[in-house]
Structure 1
């Protein structure tokens, strides 16, 4: 898989943290792990309904969605390479489009469910809102927008601590991550025209051994560890990310929200 990953030809030092982990074989790249993705799928009306997924990435959630028998599936990705790779893995009856998730060009009121994971966190608050409003436009009345993102805790976390965490994440994963508290996610959703139906809150254990075993299985975890050990430049990046996650474990969360269009 690593030979065809988006950005596979870029130096390891320049790659985003999620593609570093994908390079060593990690399939579940979401902050709240498989448990949070499963929560979103269990609380969304997928079978027989029209589904749009924002930024499908490696296609792990796309495969789980398609197993549930949606009436239609459309994956939206701004990266042409990622979109092409996903299209090669899904049935011809499903499709991908290359577009900005804030302006997909898809018809209004064409979906019953929009799902997006680990993509809003990497946007400014203004862009977060623009993407949420596009999800609102795409959904039929009463439709569900399911999101899985990085959260911050506690609710009253000082602004200075937020800034320090964002800087540490940016240095480590080479992506400008801007996680929010649950209250901030809810307020942004409200501004975009959604009601919060339910919330799943868990630890941000992306590189935690217990979470790795739950997400990747024993063989998958062993394979990842071996791949990391064999590549010193990758090992340095992964260990640095893990240090940042551990240093901020009291504040970082994985959150899933089921939102309903008003």
Structure 2
């Protein structure tokens, strides 16, 4: 008889959501239990663009907000920044992130804290980024996280990057946006409030940032081609096999995919790079 607990995954490191059954588990935790490591709406391709455009290099002190399973952390560490700090609320994630080994002299640490109130010293980061986390916050919480990123950055020389879900196009009817949000919540079991590209830009501008670069991508998280591109062929096959062996998990995955496809014309991924807005003379 197939297990209804997807925790029997490919690794023994504790993952978020241990003890929850498949019917109630947040969607991103469910996918992580299946072995999916790239949980970003635009996939690893958009994440790489984000890191390239932010220009992370050996002199940078990087803070990642809601760092999760460490997929992006590994890409960042490969760039050899002077320091990398992961922030996450989940103790299992913090334990995993703190154990990451940098290929060079990068100082690596992980702190268990909230992205809106990290407890880190202000003005000590040159790059701050977060992925697939602002979308899950209501408007006031979104603003608190962006405000915290601004506080962490060093003067006007820092860069802030976000990689999130977005609604398309800019003029999308608000009633349609509410329908999409309701369907996402029903499928993901977590609130999701994506913004239009202009909405994301205005959010950053309201908290003292100027957007310098933007890219969008299809929301294809559960499509076979994206799954293989993000995870590799063999891991993708293993993920699919685990889902097929567990009816409860398979129902949830199919529900998520149906919602993503249903709203495919109006749901995408976006990455924005921003810098602190200089004070007016």
Q: Please report how far the alpha carbon of residue 2 of structure 1 lies from its aligned counterpart in structure 2 after TM superposition.
A: 6.3
Large movers: runs of 4+ above 4 Å: none
Instruction: Render the CA deviation track for 1:10-54: whole Å, top value 9, x for unaligned.
Output: 111111101111111111100011111001110113222100000
Which of 119, 131, 134 matches 2:148?
134
**Which residue does 1:20 correspond to in 2?**
30
**Which residue does 1:254 correspond to in 2?**
269
Q: Please report how far the alpha carbon of residue 224 of structure 1 lies from its aligned counterpart in structure 2 after TM superposition.
A: 1.0
Q: Please report how far the alpha carbon of residue 81 of structure 1 lies from its aligned counterpart in structure 2 after TM superposition.
A: 2.2
Considering Cα pairs closer than 8 Å and 6+ residues apart, tell me whether 1 or 2 has the greater RCO. 1
Let me know the Cα RMSD of the aligned residues: 1.2
Determine if the alignment matches structure 1 residue 34 to structure 2 residue 38. Answer: no
Paired with 1:9 and 1:2, the residues of 2 have a C-alpha distance of 14
| Consecutive unaligned residues in structure 1, runs of 5 or more | none
SS at match of 2:180: helix
Which of 67, 71, 74 matches 1:60?
71
**Which residue does 1:125 correspond to in 2?**
139
SS at match of 2:232: helix
**Which residue does 1:78 correspond to in 2?**
89
How many residues align? The count is 262
Paired with 1:45 and 1:112, the residues of 2 have a C-alpha distance of 10
- Normalising to structure 1: TM-score of the pair? 0.97
Paired with 1:167 and 1:3, the residues of 2 have a C-alpha distance of 33
**Which residue does 1:98 correspond to in 2?**
112
| Consecutive unaligned residues in structure 2, runs of 5 or more | 1-10
Paired with 2:68 and 2:114, the residues of 1 have a C-alpha distance of 14
For the 8 Å contact 2:128–2:160, the answer to whether it is kept is yes
Paired with 1:160 and 1:150, the residues of 2 have a C-alpha distance of 18
